[in-house]
Amino acid sequence: MIWFTLFRRLGFLLIALLLLPVFSPALAFADDESTRDRRYRQLLEKRQSILDSLQRDLDSVRSWCMEHELPDAVEEVSRVAQQILTPDVESSQPKYVSPPVSKSLPIEHQQWQLQLRHHREERAKELYTLARSTLRAGFPSLAYMMIGDVIRIDPDHQFARSILGTELFTDPTRKDDAGYAGEWVSLFEKRMRSGSRPHVNHATYGWIPAGNVARYDEGLRPWKSDWVSVEKEGELRRDFRNAWEVRSEHFLVKTNVSLETGVQLSQRLELFNDWLQQNFAAFFDTPKTLQDRFEAASSRSSDRKSNPMEVHYYATRDEYQKRVQGKVPPNLETNGLYWEDDRTSYFFDNPDKIGYSTLYHEATHQILDLATREARNTAEKARGLKLRQRPAPRWKLGEKSNFWILEGIACYFESFDIEEGHVAVGRPDYVRFDIARQRIVDPKFFYYLPSQQFSALGQEEFQHHPQITQLYTQGAGFAHFLMHYEDGLYRDDLITLLSEIYRPDPDRVLEEPSLPAIAGVSFELLDHQYHTHMQNLIELTTP
């Protein structure tokens, strides 16, 4: 009887194994998607519920203003509602502190403004609490998006401001300005604008002593211990050894093109870095650090890296080629390069290339590398101990697998764009994503390496692959998929994958990071969803 039972069970097992390839994908899809997707959707629904409640609050204030025949107030409340509830672009955080409601205003004007402020503060508190719960649920990117909501609704929410690393600063030169209540700035800016010789961040000249602005406007420039004309300075700095040096919070841009060009590059790099710090917060900090920041609302230290990231921007391709000689294969023309050994990015003024896609591509490599290099040095020592061998001089990123994400995310951020202070990234019609779409939907151009094989490629295999161009395209497309599929369902998983590659766990240095293990889904499901995502891009790009 026992043997019969055993053989019967073995028979059932054999049948199950034979049927598994037929039925497992559909079952896996359902199991993979259900729990994680449901939890994510619930958080999004709670967020939307708070925003809907705020909409009703604002409608009530608008109705009150209409009843009291305050047309200007009605228009202002409508403008506020549009700004905080239906933002059409990612806008920068409001900088200035809202002054108290003036008691000199007519009582009805005081009342509607106080009502408006009360509703905004209360709903912001609810969203802040939800953001903390979202972080604990394992969705840090969504949590930080909610912190952005909090600041948009209540720009003076102290805890949310502190989480994003800004502090209250009161400009002493505006102490007599009744409409000025202070501003939210980084620790770096606070220090630059304070002290016995305060600096200003001039839109054209960058950070310079406030007392020098008038001379700059007159066409004079400091040179050693003297002042020279703009024209003379241009001649002197044409030699890159005398290049302009534009220092900002996180970057040092050296260029022999012009001061103005250096300042523009610096401003773009700072905005890009700020966006990354906020939207990829889980990459730059460990989970414990993120949790501590929420719990304590401690300010993010802007001085975590004592040395700024260095960027060289040359006036000609020839100068650039000479500088990167030996860093790239002979006869290979590049438009930009980040070189890990000297921690510097190199570019040149290219009249044939419009836009800043190369700048953002290489800056991605530079920012991610330098933010985590110390962690990789620690991991390399730990690996040496486990293997009982001398540690390598440097941990090689993506050496054995997952190399695609290093280039894929850099290609993704080529789409980063800034217009009038507003950020756009990942637009579907960007050339990288459009070509990735064509390789899925157009039989003439079809190419797709299944994600399991794609992820298994290490650096050497990837860079010497006969279809390397197609792999770069797929990398850009797959990064877009992970960032945007189903309202960012896999965004935190992408960030976790990047973090595990750039910041290896010393206790698991002999293991390779796995996207399915991180996301809790199968490679087959990811392949299926990627194809669906590319199909959806057609609808987004078709007029």
- The 10s digit of each residue's pLDDT in 512-537 is 999 999 999 999 999 999 999 999 88
* Secondary structure, 3-state, 113-137: HHHHHHHHHHHHHHHHHHHHHHHHC
Q: Is the dihedral of CA 285, 287, 289, 291 positive or negative?
A: positive
Mean pLDDT of the chain: 89
Total structural domains within the chain: 2
**Is the model's pLDDT at 145 over the cut of 90?**
no
Residue 453 forms part of a structural domain: yes
Q: Confidence band (pLDDT; 50, 70, 90) for 21? A: very low
| Tokens standing for residue 490 | 């896999």
CA–CA separation, 300 and 293 (whole Å): 8
Residue 495 forms part of a structural domain: yes
What's the mean pLDDT in 210-225?
96
At residue 20, the pLDDT reads 39
pTM over 0.75: yes
Residue 516 forms part of a structural domain: yes
| Tokens standing for residue 68 | 């009291």
Sheet holding 344-348, edge to edge: 244-247, 251-255, 309-314, 344-348, 336-339
Q: Which residues does 145 contact at the CB level (< 8 Å), separation at least 6?
A: 279
User: Is residue 166 within 8 Å of residue 146, measured between CB atoms?
Assistant: no
Residue 206 forms part of a structural domain: no
**Is the model's pLDDT at 353 over the cut of 90?**
no
Q: What is the DSSP letter of 300?
A: P
Residue 384 forms part of a structural domain: no
Residue 213 forms part of a structural domain: no
For residue 478, which of 456, 454, 498 has the smallest C-alpha distance? 454
User: Final residue of a domain: which of 165, 183, 208?
Assistant: 165
Question: CB-hemisphere CA count at 13 Å for 99?
Answer: 11
How many angstroms separate the first and last alpha carbons of the chain? 71
At residue 306, the pLDDT reads 61
User: Final residue of a domain: which of 149, 165, 181?
Assistant: 165
User: Final residue of a domain: which of 110, 131, 165?
Assistant: 165
3-state SS class at 97: coil
Residue 116 forms part of a structural domain: yes
User: 420 or 401, which is more confident?
Assistant: 401
| Range(s) of the domain holding residue 533 | 396-543
Residue 358 forms part of a structural domain: no
**Is the model's pLDDT at 17 over the cut of 60?**
no
